[in-house]
Amino acid sequence: MAAPITLSNPYPVIPLSHPLRARVRVPGSKSLTNRALLLAALADGVTTLTNTLTSDDSARFIESLQRLGFNLQFSNSQITIHGLKGKIPASRAELFVGNAGTAARFLTPMLALGQGEYVLDGDARMRERPIRDLLAALQQLGVQATSATGCPPVQVRAAGLRGGRCTVAGNISSQFLSGLLMVAPYASAPLEIEVAGELNSKPYVEMTLAIMADFGVQVERTGFERFRVTPQCYRAQATYAIESDASAASYFFAAPAIVGGSVRVENISRASKQGDVAFVEVLTQMGCAVEEGPDWLAVKAEHVPLALRGVEVDMRDIPDTAQTLAAIAPFASTPTVIRGIASARVKETDRVAAMCAELTRLGVQVEEYPDGLKIYPCAAIQPAVVQTYNDHRMAMAFALLGLRVPGVQIENPSCVNKTFPNYFDVLESLRSVNSEQ
């Protein structure tokens, strides 16, 4: 692989001069990596994870496990974790998770399994991201988990997790439910969880249940409304392979819709545990073609720049790909409406407001809704420095416009380190026909 490119700030994206004929590989899934790290630490024995994500988010999670006393070894994208059957070695620890949402929402219920006092904190944006509903559920189970603001920092005084019943809100983040589910096998009695209201991002809960099953734990459920977990122990896995990240893959699936040609992404399939793989169905609705193999997916768009169609889509279950769709939408022949992403307003930034602001900066007409936006076709997108709000997905998605539009620059491009440190390297590789990563 070529040496990493130097990221100037702002970073200019140079338009492509030819249709795509590319093959790429993106990093391991953040969602699967952090779930697997948690389950391996709780399992009975030693597990080695392969193809793990190496990024700021995963580093925060690993560092927190080490602060809690767990033994981890590293070799490239391979991590070996010595599981302790639901025990937490440290009786006191201060954890700093930066702006890693999965770390905050998964580690907080994990701390309830300990015996001692713990503090979990994050950066300025994390201190604005709500966690009150998760704390309320833990309090119903007798856990002393508190926050002065309803956001981190969080204080947990732990004495083990008792069983019983709790209710957790589903409309802010499915990670609250996933975090509770993953620690539930180590409650002292059966634990029942009821979801209040409509659950966002259902595929991520399916992912949680699937990886729990891989580690030997079964969950009783009634749809997405009620879950029951009996006391069990996760089984360590000699090796556990992490799929490539479907959210990261969405940018490369989307590229042909903008400039034509095809891109094939390796180590991912329609059978993925990751719900974001469904983004290729949105591209199909817009007029792209999808091809697949047992461990790859490819998107083709030979029609550019004529027949890309706008869509109206509820992205409640795949909100992390909304920005990717927003980057394609101005090139469609009809408006695109994105709905169901109110939860995106409490992500790394208010993503709905950010998408509207940056599309407007580029000369695209938009209408903002409480739970989404409407994007109109734009025949003449304006050159601009796109603001990223320190949000990795704003940087990665909006860089796609620069593959076709001259003068697009990305402010603070290094924010992609959160989940995809070599994103711009892989994006640049699209310039080589039949490129390999």
Distance CA 178, CA 170 (A): 11
Q: Examine the domain organization and report whether 230 and 338 are in the same domain.
A: no
pTM of the entire predicted model = 0.90
Structure token pair of residue 323? 């920005």
Query: Binning pLDDT at 50, 70 and 90, where does residue 5 land?
Result: low
Distance CA 305, CA 299 (A): 16
Q: Give SS3 for 188.
A: coil
**Which residues, 6+ apart, have CB-to-CB distance to 433 below 8 Å?**
18, 21, 22
Q: Examine the domain organization and report whether 21 and 128 are in the same domain.
A: no
Q: Examine the domain organization and report whether 181 and 38 are in the same domain.
A: yes
In b/e form, how buried is each residue of 245-275, taking b as 16+ CB within 10 angstroms?
Answer: bbbbbbbbbbbbbbbbbbbbbbbbbeebbbb
Q: Examine the domain organization and report whether 106 and 188 are in the same domain.
A: yes
Q: Which helix (H) or strand (E) holds 12?
A: strand 11-12
Q: Examine the domain organization and report whether 287 and 202 are in the same domain.
A: no
Residue where a domain terminates, one of 183, 213, 241: 241
Q: Residue 15: give the domain boundaries.
A: 11-28+244-429
Q: What is the pLDDT of residues 309-336, one digit of tens each?
A: 999 999 999 999 999 999 999 999 999 9
Distance CA 195, CA 180 (A): 11
161, part of any domain? yes
> How many domains does the chain contain in total?
2
Question: Which residues are the active-site residues?
Answer: 320
Q: Examine the domain organization and report whether 207 and 119 are in the same domain.
A: yes
Residue 435's pLDDT is 47
Q: Examine the domain organization and report whether 166 and 262 are in the same domain.
A: no
Residue 1's pLDDT is 38
Q: Examine the domain organization and report whether 216 and 272 are in the same domain.
A: no
Question: Average pLDDT of 47-74?
Answer: 96
Query: Binning pLDDT at 50, 70 and 90, where does residue 347 land?
Result: very high
Question: Average pLDDT of 284-307?
Answer: 88
Kindly give the interhelix angle for 392-399 and 246-259, rounded to the nearest 10 degrees.
20
Q: Examine the domain organization and report whether 169 and 143 are in the same domain.
A: yes
- Can you give the CATH number for the domain in which 79 is found? 3.65.10.10
1, part of any domain? no
Is the separation of the CB atoms in 247 and 320 below 8 Å? yes
Provide the mean pLDDT of the chain.
95
Distance CA 268, CA 188 (A): 38
2, part of any domain? no
* Greater model confidence, 76 or 240: 240
Question: Average pLDDT of 156-170?
Answer: 96
Q: Examine the domain organization and report whether 399 and 269 are in the same domain.
A: yes
Distance CA 410, CA 428 (A): 14
Q: Examine the domain organization and report whether 69 and 103 are in the same domain.
A: yes
3, part of any domain? no
Q: What is the pLDDT of residues 24-34, one digit of tens each?
A: 999 999 999 99
58, part of any domain? yes
Query: Binning pLDDT at 50, 70 and 90, where does residue 2 land?
Result: very low
436, part of any domain? no
5, part of any domain? no
Residue where a domain terminates, one of 216, 241, 266: 241
Q: Indicate whether 177 pLDDT > 90.
A: yes
Q: What is the pLDDT of residues 349-401, one digit of tens each?
A: 999 999 999 999 999 999 999 999 999 999 999 999 999 999 999 999 999 99
Q: Examine the domain organization and report whether 278 and 230 are in the same domain.
A: no
201, part of any domain? yes
Residue where a domain terminates, one of 207, 241, 275: 241
